[in-house]
Structure 1
Amino acid sequence: MATMKDVAKLAGVSTSTVSHVINKTRFVSDEIAERVNKAAKELNYYAPSALARSFKVNRTKTIGMLVTTSTNPFFGEVVKGVERHCYHKGYSLILCNTEGDHQRMHESINTLLQKRVDGLILVCASLEGERFDIFEHYADIPVVVMDWGPMLFTSDKIQDNSLRGGYMAAKHLIDSGHSDIGCITGPLERNQAKMRYNGYLEAMDEAGFIVNPSWVVEADFECEGGYNAFIQLHEKGKLPSALVVANDMMAMGVINAANELGIQIPEQLSIIGYDDIHIAKFISPSLTTIHQPKYRLGQAAVEALLKRLDAPDTFPQVIELEPTLVERKSVRKLGLVG
């Protein structure tokens, strides 16, 4: 029976190169990969199955990821970052959606752990403040949580600086000449929404502006929530000159409602969103927003998980990525033409 050493000799490469080609654990040029695959075929060499390798090295080269189903493409863009980085590192990704079902969330975590994934990435708002006894039985499985609040289990955490982002959004409107500024928040029991709202309040306080409570409406991070929030805001009477909207999906709902009501954006109402989802630059008017590094969030989650696998006893880390402002067409600079 041919061995990896035999394949390496025939292909004129090292055994480590043969391993990288067969297991897809590192980039190898097409020319070398072709030589290795040709030699393996000639020698009838068959690599050990993924399952057999997993028993030998005690790893399955798979990562489990749990995501709350949402119409928000933000999650898809994060998953893309996770999946691509898994591929480059030679890992497979098993993705589970909770569909907003609490029981399904627990069952999905249990299923992923039973499949012997090497680690878990959790992107699920309903996890916040949740205790999972099952993790005590899988203490050697590293967990990375993305972007939510305090956890009652040990995990590394990847998050954007939502407080800074909310501040930047309101500050941009203030710097554009606005003082009557409202806010459509996400659900304030969630850490992200609360921090973005606190950032808005901080910028308003710093500028010496009073927040009109009638211009603050809590919504649900979805398009329909933004639409309904703006209708509610409009029914209260006088509108602010500008709105901080806590994510782009709600901002699109606001723009839709404003158009139906004959309110021109940005001429009569300026809007700034949050997330910078791909579609934000293609709506009309194109949306000024706070950019979250979604691909980098996914990449950082995988890197943190692999680092934890190599150094399981290190103290849990919090990795915070900084937001940036993306200026487009939905904010009017007062005192200027256009």
Structure 2
Amino acid sequence: MATMKDIARLAGVSTSTVSHVINQSRYVSEEISERVNRAAQELNYTPSALARSLKMNRTKTLGMLMTTSTNPFFGEVVKGVERCCYQKGYNLILCNTEGDQQRMKSSINTLLQKRVDGMILMCSSLEGERIEIFDKYPDVPVVVMDWGPMLFTSDKIQDNSLQGGYMAAKHLIECGHTQIGCITGPLNRHQAQMRYEGYKRALNEAGLEFHPNWIIESNFECEGGYEAFNRMYSKGTLPTAIFVCNDMMAMGVMNAAHEKGLSVPDDFSIIGYDDIHIAKYMSPPLSTIHQPKYRLGQAAVETLLCKLENETRDPKVVQLEPTLVERNSVATLKTTIEE
């Protein structure tokens, strides 16, 4: 494998001059730069990423930890992270924690050994855990996504789930619904709790009653939505509308309803959350709350790189706002009062 010394010998210059040309660390005349680059090309020289990282104390590599899920929401966020890394000239190492604390700690150790410049955590099933290893590496910035209160220092990227839940329920109310159920995510997770709180705020504001048989806690997966609807159905009369706290569970709900001969929105209306890519291709197309998933990933990388440039700044929270997407899964009842 060719070295800078080999290039210097072939180009007839000093090794330090070759280093300045390769690393663009000092001005070198166009003629000499051309000789050096031509020699490097002839020798098939490839710069050592390891040597460069040791010299610059940067590897131009970020690490990301996430929990595997069938929910394409996560893939759409990762797409934003990967694209932004590429545009900024960074590599990305992606690790799967599978929701296991020990595996997460092992992955963090591995990333630190590989000297990543920073980390992005998207493992909300582990929120509330204290990760002591970060205390030993205060110079490695961390950004968390989709996470509740943190027990370590980091920046945070989140969507406004409280507002999103409120918008979903309020849309159903504005369409004339007064009997509104809710299938929540795991309420020990911050985002699920906030969406549920938004739902409750909208119902309280409208003076509507809460029916305990119409509030079911589930797990954010298709199977969870399917089972939650079956439980709600088994308890008696259904509400006229259901806020399902993510689109994957909404798919499960619609499948369970179809098995029972029920039709959306003729027999009951449904609104989801996330606006995953396939939501508009469901039958009927799903009304939902749009999360800017690509932007969430992009914001995580940008915030991490900003911290690398200004290590002394205080941790910050970047909050992105949801929007309502109206499709065909919500019926407008004739009892709607026009102002």
TM bracket, shorter-chain basis:
0.7 to 0.9
Question: Cα deviations across residues 31-70 of structure 1 (Å, max 9, x unaligned)?
Answer: xxxx999857655473521111101110101000000111
Mapped contact 1:64–1:93 kept (Cα < 8 A): yes
State the alpha-carbon separation in 2 of the partners of residues 122 and 206 from structure 1. Answer: 36
State the alpha-carbon separation in 2 of the partners of residues 63 and 156 from structure 1. Answer: 15
Give the counterpart letter for 1:111 in structure 2: T
What stretches of structure 2 of length at least 5 have no aligned partner? Answer: 1-5, 12-19, 26-33
Assess, with a 3 A threshold, how the Cα gap between structure 1 residues 16 and 42 changes in structure 2: closer, same or farther. Answer: closer
Residue 275 of structure 1 aligns to a residue in which SS?
Answer: coil
- In structure 2, the residue matched to 1:177 is 176
- In structure 2, the residue matched to 1:186 is 185
Q: What is the percentage of aligned positions where both structures have the same residue?
A: 67
Residue 182 of structure 1 aligns to a residue in which SS?
Answer: strand
State the alpha-carbon separation in 1 of the partners of residues 98 and 297 from structure 2. Answer: 20
Query: Does 1:221 pair with 2:203?
Result: no
- In structure 1, the residue matched to 2:77 is 78
Worse-superposed segment, 141-150 or 46-55: 46-55
State the alpha-carbon separation in 1 of the partners of residues 148 and 319 from structure 2. Answer: 13
Mapped contact 2:289–2:324 kept (Cα < 8 A): yes
Residue 55 of structure 2 aligns to a residue in which SS?
Answer: helix
Worse-superposed segment, 47-56 or 256-265: 47-56
Mapped contact 1:102–1:126 kept (Cα < 8 A): no
Assess, with a 3 A threshold, how the Cα gap between structure 1 residues 252 and 86 changes in structure 2: closer, same or farther. Answer: same
Q: How does 1:310-329 map to 2 (within 5 A)?
A: 310-329=309-328
Question: Cα deviations across residues 76-133 of structure 1 (Å, max 9, x unaligned)?
Answer: 0000100010000000000000122222111111111111100000000133111111
Question: Cα deviations across residues 234-292 of structure 1 (Å, max 9, x unaligned)?
Answer: 00000000000000000000000000011110011100000000111111111100000
Give the counterpart letter for 2:253 in structure 1: V
- In structure 1, the residue matched to 2:299 is 300
- In structure 2, the residue matched to 1:141 is 140
Worse-superposed segment, 182-191 or 45-54: 45-54
Give the counterpart letter for 2:214 in structure 1: W
Q: How does 1:118-157 map to 2 (within 5 A)?
A: 118-157=117-156
- In structure 1, the residue matched to 2:31 is none
The alignment covers a number of residue pairs equal to: 312
- In structure 2, the residue matched to 1:117 is 116
State the alpha-carbon separation in 2 of the partners of residues 128 and 16 from structure 1. Answer: 47
- Please provide the CA RMSD for this pair: 2.2
Residue 157 of structure 2 aligns to a residue in which SS?
Answer: strand
State the alpha-carbon separation in 2 of the partners of residues 328 and 287 from structure 1. Answer: 6
Mapped contact 1:18–1:36 kept (Cα < 8 A): no
- In structure 1, the residue matched to 2:210 is 211
State the alpha-carbon separation in 2 of the partners of residues 57 and 47 from structure 1. Answer: 17
State the alpha-carbon separation in 1 of the partners of residues 21 and 329 from structure 2. Answer: 54
Mapped contact 2:53–2:59 kept (Cα < 8 A): yes
State the alpha-carbon separation in 2 of the partners of residues 160 and 296 from structure 1. Answer: 10
- In structure 1, the residue matched to 2:265 is 266
Mapped contact 2:7–2:36 kept (Cα < 8 A): no
Worse-superposed segment, 143-152 or 35-44: 35-44
Assess, with a 3 A threshold, how the Cα gap between structure 1 residues 209 and 56 changes in structure 2: closer, same or farther. Answer: same
State the alpha-carbon separation in 1 of the partners of residues 35 and 284 from structure 2. Answer: 53
State the alpha-carbon separation in 1 of the partners of residues 235 and 134 from structure 2. Answer: 48
Once the two structures are TM-superposed, the CA of residue 147 in structure 1 deviates from its matched residue by 1.5
Mapped contact 1:170–1:200 kept (Cα < 8 A): yes
What is the TM-score normalised by the length of structure 2?
A: 0.88
Assess, with a 3 A threshold, how the Cα gap between structure 1 residues 44 and 328 changes in structure 2: closer, same or farther. Answer: same
What is the TM-score normalised by the length of structure 1?
A: 0.88
Question: Cα deviations across residues 115-162 of structure 1 (Å, max 9, x unaligned)?
Answer: 110000000013311111111111100000002101110000000000
Question: Cα deviations across residues 267-322 of structure 1 (Å, max 9, x unaligned)?
Answer: 11100000000111111111100000000000000001000001111010000000
